[in-house]
Structure 1
Amino acid sequence: MIINTTHHNTEHKQIIADLIGSPFSLLQKFKMKGVGSKRMIIDKVSPNMQSMMNKVSDINYANIELRPKGILVMINQGLKNFTWIIPYYQLTIYKVNGSSLHAQGRFVHFKNNKTFKENKKFFDKLLDEKVRYDMLFAMPQGI
């Protein structure tokens, strides 16, 4: 689900909390050594997300925030902000010449450059959180 978060709206906060949980507490953020990525340059997006990209040749940026049951991908388009809400069970990550996040029939591909390389630890943390979430619903092994 993608919502326009340019202006504060209490309904958006409730929708996000229902889908992927409330933000981590301050203590949890310290234990995890942060829950947000640095901004990354968007290389490509799926055709159904093209309307959120800058029309001129400006660089498109996004950053990611971890939540207990998913992630928020925050995309900046000029003065507008869009948030893509992705629960962990829908998230697929591909690492091909950068990294791609796929979910809900959409994708965002981040350019493999200095800003992406600075986020390597964040992507490791993201994968750990996704695996931890997936293990909650893992099928039991044979008896």
Structure 2
Amino acid sequence: MILNTTHHNSEHRQIITDLIGSPFSLVQILKLKGIGSKRMIIEEVSPNMQSMMNKVSDINYANIELRPKGILVMINQGLRNFTWIIPYYQLVIYKVNGSSLHAQGRFIRFRNSKTFKENKKFFNKLLDQKVKYDMQYAMPESL
């Protein structure tokens, strides 16, 4: 689900909380050593997300925030902001010449640049959180 979060809306906060949980507490943020990525350059998006990209040749940026049950991908388009809500059970990550996030029939691919390389630790943290979430619903091993 993608929301236009340019202006504050309490309904959006409730939708995000219902889908991927409330934000981490300060203690949890300190234990995780941060829950947000640095901004990354968007290389390519799926055709159904083209309307959120700049029409001119400006660089498009996005950053990611971790939540207990998913992630928020915040996309900046000039003066407007969009938030893509992705629960962990829908998230697929590919690492090919940068990295791409796939979910809900959409994708976003980040450029393999200096800003992306600075986020290597963040992506490792993201994968750890996804594995923790998936292990809660893992099938027990057969006897």
Q: TM-score, normalised by structure 1?
A: 1.00
2:135 aligned with 1:135, yes or no?
yes
1:141 maps to a residue whose letter is E
Counterpart for residue 72 of structure 1 = 72
Measure the CA separation in 2 of the matches of 1:5 and 1:125.
Answer: 25
2:21 maps to a residue whose letter is G
Counterpart for residue 85 of structure 1 = 85
2:55 aligned with 1:55, yes or no?
yes
Gaps spanning 5+ residues in structure 1: where? none
Gaps spanning 5+ residues in structure 2: where? none
Counterpart for residue 42 of structure 2 = 42
1:54 maps to a residue whose letter is N
Structure 1 runs of 4+ off > 6 angstroms? Answer: none
**Percent sequence identity over aligned pairs:** 83
Shift of 1:18: 0.1
Measure the CA separation in 2 of the matches of 1:82 and 1:73.
Answer: 8
Q: How many residues align?
A: 143
Counterpart for residue 101 of structure 2 = 101
SS at match of 1:133: helix
2:11 maps to a residue whose letter is E
CA RMSD in angstroms comes to 0.2
Measure the CA separation in 2 of the matches of 1:126 and 1:27.
Answer: 18
Counterpart for residue 122 of structure 2 = 122
1:93 maps to a residue whose letter is I
Measure the CA separation in 1 of the matches of 2:103 and 2:73.
Answer: 11
